[in-house]
Amino acid sequence: MSIVNTFSTFVNNITTDGKFQPESGRYHLYISGFCPYAQRANIALKLKGLEDAISVSVLDFIMKDGLLWFGTDIDKPHKGVTVDHLYGFKTLKELYEKADKQQQYTGKHSVPVLWDRKLETIVSNESHDIVRIFNSQLNNLAKYPNVNLYPEEIGLKIDKDTDWFMKNVVGQVFKQSSQEEYELSAKTFFETIEELDRRLSTSRYMFGKELTEFDIKVFVVLIRFELCLFPSLKLNLHPLTYYNNLYNYTKELYQHPQIKSTVYFDHIKGFFNIGRPGLADPKILPLGPNLDHYESPYQRTNL
């Protein structure tokens, strides 16, 4: 499963007058702790305070036979992994097959998945859309309805910067088919990281004093920097600590209680080292890195 999600096929919305309506207890979110796309959806769920309205199942980071598995088929489920709370399925593939009654789906069985219990189908498997649904379509169920991750007045700017970030950061991490391609992609990656660091020298968050969905998209990449991008994918020109503004920004977001609860360090580390064959030597799990420094004070409150 790559960090660049090209697998989304189920794309629906939740509306008061449509097929999928905002009802408490009707929807269920499937995620995995290692996947940045799934984490985006989970962060939005937590920031809006939708935990009582939407239940969650967490898949394991160990892939077997190319599939994502729930905790039922693992001798010793890893911490944080759950069973499929709805159907007791062993794999995510079974859920997709239940939704795809006409057997027309040919894509990957990816997360996140927003599931409708009532109609027993997938509302969406696109993190971008799920974040928007949580942000604006379920405010009648949210503990924090005033949290707005996509203010309309800066919506076009968020969209533009998202496209730029996805192309120049997320889209570069797996471009390693040759030394030349790797060097070009790494250069683009770090130039963009430097631009983000400069931006944060005068701004608390990416668009001022309030968090937006763009901050979520940046954070889920940065929190994986030391664990997988730096060692496993050879994006090691500089560590995150080299970029003072980005580093403190990442610490601040990590220490946000709702966001911190979505970070599964062991799952991220496990996936990139033993969870998916071919990414690294499957027999060796690194001792480090030590991530305690994310708990240290950050210097952002003056902005």
Among 233, 245, 241, residue whose Cα is nearest residue 196: 245
Among 76, 42, 43, residue whose Cα is nearest residue 56: 42
Query: According to DSSP H, which parts of 30-126 are helical?
Result: 36-48, 92-99
Burial 169-183 (b: 16+ CB within 10 A, else e): bbbbbebeeeeeebe
Among 102, 165, 155, 138, residue whose Cα is nearest residue 29: 138
The dihedrals phi and psi of 204, each to the nearest 5 degrees, come to -60, -50
The dihedrals phi and psi of 268, each to the nearest 5 degrees, come to -65, -50
Among 135, 109, 114, residue whose Cα is nearest residue 126: 114
Q: Which of 14, 35, 68, 133 is catalytic?
A: 35
Output Rg (C-alpha) for the chain, integer angstroms.
19
Q: Name the CA dihedral angle for 25, 30, 36, 42, rounded to a multiple of 10 degrees.
A: 20
- Strand, helix or coil for residue 98: helix
- Strand, helix or coil for residue 29: strand
DSSP 8-state secondary structure symbol assigned to residue 274:
I
Give yes or no: 228 in active site.
Answer: no
Residues with catalytic function: 35
